[in-house]
Amino acid sequence: LAIVRIRVPLARLRMGAQCCKGDHPDHGGALSLAEKRGATVSPNFGQERKDENTTPHCDVDTFNNIIILTDSYKVTHHLQYPENTEVVYSYFECRGGLYKEVCFFGLQYFLKRYLVGQVVTESKIQEADEYFRQHFSHPRWGYDEKLFNREGWNTIVRKHNGYLPVAIKAVPEGTVLPWKNVLFTVENTDQECFWLTNYLETLLVQVWYPTTVCTQSREQKKIIMKYLKETGCEDVIHKRNHLFKLHDFGFRGVSSVESAALGGAGHLVNFMGTDTMASLVLVKEFYGESVVGFSIPASEHSTMTAWGRDCELEAMHNMLIQYPTGNIACVSDSYDIFKACEEYWGGTLKDGIMNRQGTLIVRPDSGDLPGIVLQVLSRLESKFGSRETRTGHKLLPDCIRVIQGDGIDINTLDAILRAMKNSGWAADNMVFGSGGALLQKLHRDTEKCAFKCSFAKVDGEGIDVSKDPITDSGKRSKKGKLTLELRDSGYVTFEEGSGDPMNDILMEVFRDGRLIIDQDFERIRHRSEGGHVEDMRQQSMPAEIAPQHVQFDPFGSNILMLTDSYKVTHHVQYPPETVRVYSYFESRGSEKYFESRGGEQPEICFFGLQYFLKKYLVGRVVTNKKIDDAAEYFSLHFRNEHGYNPGIFNRAGWEHISREYRRDDGTIKRAGGHLPIVIKAVPEGTVLPSKNVLFTMENTEDECYWLTNYLESLLVQVWYPMTVCTQSREQKKIIRRYLEGTGCNESIQKSWQLFKLHDFGFRGTSSVESAAIGGAAHLVNFIGSDTLPALLMLREYYGMACAGFSIPSAEHSTITVWGRERELEAFRHMLNTFDKGMVSVVSDSYDIFNACDQYWGTDLKEEIEKGRESEKTVVIRPDSGKLPDTVLTVLEKLECKFGSTLTPTRHKLLPDCIRVLQGDGIDFRSLEDILEAMKDKGWAADNLAFGSGGALLQKLHRDTLKCAFKCSAIRPRESPDYVEIFKDPITDPGKKSKKGRLKLQKIDGYFETISEGSTREEQNRFDSVEDELKEVFRDGILMTDFLFEDIRGRAETA
């Protein structure tokens, strides 16, 4: 945090990297996960690997330690509750938001994945202890042994055999109920483990994500059904075909594989169409249903543009030949969507379409909405005709439909269907695909999800607990033990034990490490459609068959499933004789929101690719067992009324990969199961303008031309760590500018600014994996973090033993358990318990201004000021109120009590013993607004540190930096030359892609992407350029291993 007054010499910043090189006593040099499993990774930046290690790919779950799956500051909370606390009881709810009805979903995944079984062991306690010793270390005082509750965790091992002594009651998943109702409660069952309830908060609050996806998806379903009815298409609903009207395109647009699985499963509660296959794995593994989502063969721009502009008609004809029956979708805007509709589909290919057994679905993928949809419908009708529904709306013949998959969110979906209705078009003409808006453009505040303590037992006495900040009445929390009951008026939450437990809809789903009720997916779907919420106790599981803890990563184990469904079908869509497919990844620009006050575009800071390579691609990732498992999924996932076409799945191609590949002289060129791919990338941490190539990918064996873009869906997720890293770096520049502008150069010189933006994002991200990836990206620029999985990720994949640090901090539960009347006592307890270094105390549980005036500024002032002798700083945290007003008022009240000095620029600076942390409502804009307001009012920037959660790690999406992966060259068999390919849609010039093979050159510090070109002069220039892209992966082997210390150096601002 903080906040200042801590000297952070360069040696301190590099401590973690030194440990990685062999100084750490317990980790043998803190070997990365890849090295532990014997995978081939290079030991130094830029050093090429010659080793051809064939060690199998590792499926171990990197984040398999419940002690580390929390916010850092919760590690210290066992010391903060009142003496003799016995019970802590907390609840989860949606306090408001966009949608008044909430469809609850996803808790069972978190229980089975992270909490069920023996999740605490002595080795995990030791691992956590080692992390915390570095993470909480102080440059002068070292590590305080009491911070980590080792004895408490040992109690769980000793008394409970590593099973968690908590009870969780929840509303049945799929239940639809109004916001502001309790959804689940958590309570410890062993009074020695009172601290455990809210220790688990961070992880369990992530239920916000599948619940919010499920809720929004259900609202979109209601919209679709509304327009189907209003345009005479009720039969679509009766036949259940409306369940295929919103297709999940979200895999590449989410922040991690785990998030794709979770969000995709949330969508499948309401619909049955998906291309996010990770969600099928989740539903099967954690909800007991084999396949609950379906898809069809579909093209993408790479498979169309590979034929070239002049052969687009042949590409479309090939789609009809390859798939003579069933529904197929074909993207048709690579060049001219209107020509495609009128001349190709509606002209040359019309008879073939009319005579097929199935439907061709035409996909425009650019253009203004809803105009482009109406134009496509009109042009298709001019060729295929239409009939009228009972309401007089036009409906194309069954052989032809349209899918709009670009720019679809809940608002544009409604706008398109409304425009169609008003223009005389039936809703059944359309299917929608949605990606980032469906699974990523959501956050914890979409439904204002919160987890709060409402009851405690101290010294045998029950206490109703609540926060009630004067600065935000909407944040008032519930009191006491809660029940959820169904009355004549609907669902009602009763507080303070006033309800009837016999009528409580909340049912115990987890107790003492065991799953009590195992909910199946079909019943969840039934409830989401308004079905009866039955008593789930009949589904209780005998303890002897209760699931055991999941030790493996259920999503990272099969590379065949880590793609969009439609890519499974692409091997037959490329031109015959294709042997090489070459694609690239870039940022095409940024949103206006992301620009600085001066309107400048941010520079891109590239980060995160190495994680995906080590986690998912290195080693033997393809086996016959995995091929068989995928084939089983596909045989159901692609089944239609005509059965299943086995040719959809490229089994022969994957079996080729599973075998070793030898050179002509008999030596092994590629080990069996290793991916025949070469990837070149800019070194991680490199800062460069947008619209430059960041990495390229190409197959290395002729038989695997289809593999390049098969891997797109997974590797495009690099957009997330790159975007977090880029935004974090821009915020660092802003903070530095205001420190300089208010006379705080000392903070920069002593590296204090590296603690000025603290990561509070774990609970606000969509999954543990996303928290790890995003948190690691933030640590490229700062060293303050409470997102512990980020530390795990950086140790395992980037060789950094400890990349971030934190301090003891309070939360509302540890303050409000004392009661309103004893808030001063709670504050004094914090000062006495943490008597050295820094401590942060949330102070707005009731009245932040009284806390500053009376408690901190009067009652505790002398004790705080004595802290100067031991370099102790108390950090006051307001957590509600209007910005920047609350920050300014708090500063003024503290100055009134503690005084201030003037910086060289005549800005006021509080004494070293007191500082402020603003952790509520901090995003890219509000951070700068607060600092600007402080400067205008005469306050030095060094008075304040920031904490940021959802805005730092979640309120970002693939379009924030307009990230795209495109095919730009192919090579036919028997030809030494590559053919340039590209897309250039007339409906959006901004989506024109690059041509040919690419290099990134750097001249006088300026980056420029150049293409190979087609003329001899262009090719000669291309050959002479030194490429800044370095080979990082080849044939299953990591060629370059970037150290985090070096990445930070490249990303450092001037």
Mean pLDDT by 10 residues, the chain (1054 residues): 32 34 32 35 36 50 92 98 98 97 98 97 96 90 94 98 98 98 98 98 98 98 98 98 98 97 98 98 95 96 97 98 97 98 98 97 97 98 98 98 97 98 98 98 97 98 97 95 94 95 97 97 96 63 58 84 97 97 95 65 94 97 96 95 92 96 86 97 97 98 98 98 97 97 95 96 98 98 98 96 96 98 98 94 98 98 85 94 98 98 98 97 96 98 98 97 97 93 94 96 94 85 93 97 96 74
Residue that is written with structure tokens 């009191």 in the block: 479
Distance from C-alpha of 474 to C-alpha of 96, rounded to nearest angstrom: 9
Asked if 1029 and 696 count as a contact pair (C-beta separation under 8 A), the reply is yes
Q: Phi and psi for 631 in degrees, rounded to 5?
A: -60, -40
Distance from C-alpha of 338 to C-alpha of 326, rounded to nearest angstrom: 25
In the 8-state DSSP scheme, what is residue 665?
A: T
Token duo for residue 768: 């543990």
Using alpha carbons only, what angle is made at residue 765 by residues 275 and 771, rounded to the nearest 5 degrees? 95
Instruction: Output the pLDDT for position 761.
Output: 97
Q: Among residues 633, 819, 812, 774, which one has the least CA distance to residue 258?
A: 774
Instruction: Output the pLDDT for position 1018.
Output: 84
Instruction: Output the pLDDT for position 38.
Output: 35
Distance from C-alpha of 794 to C-alpha of 423, rounded to nearest angstrom: 54
SS (H, E, C) 837-899: CEEEEECCCCCHHHHHHHHHHHHCHHHHHHHHHHCCEEEEECCCCCCCHHHHHHHHHHHHHHC
Q: Which residues pair with 564 in a beta bridge?
A: 276
The 10 Å Cβ neighbour count of residue 190 is 18
Distance from C-alpha of 997 to C-alpha of 533, rounded to nearest angstrom: 58
Q: Would strands 328-331 and 246-248 be described as parallel, antiparallel, or unpaired?
A: unpaired
Entry pTM: 0.94
Task: Classify residue 883 as exposed, middle or buried by CB count within 10 Å of its CB (0-12, 13-18, 19+).
Answer: middle
Instruction: Output the pLDDT for position 20.
Output: 32
Asked if 607 and 797 count as a contact pair (C-beta separation under 8 A), the reply is no
Asked if 332 and 340 count as a contact pair (C-beta separation under 8 A), the reply is yes
Distance from C-alpha of 238 to C-alpha of 217, rounded to nearest angstrom: 20
Instruction: Output the pLDDT for position 956.
Output: 97
Instruction: Output the pLDDT for position 1053.
Output: 62
**C-alpha distances out from residue 1037 to 48, 61, 106, Å:** 10, 21, 36
Exposure string (b/e) for 470-501, b if CB count within 10 Å is 16 or more? ebbeebebbbbbbbbbeeeeebbbbbeeebee
Asked if 412 and 425 count as a contact pair (C-beta separation under 8 A), the reply is no
Distance from C-alpha of 299 to C-alpha of 322, rounded to nearest angstrom: 11
Which residues neighbour 810 within 8 Å (Cβ) at sequence distance 6 or greater? 73, 77, 80, 826, 830, 840, 841, 842, 877
Longest dimension (CA), the chain: 89
Distance from C-alpha of 22 to C-alpha of 807, rounded to nearest angstrom: 26
Which residues neighbour 355 within 8 Å (Cβ) at sequence distance 6 or greater? none
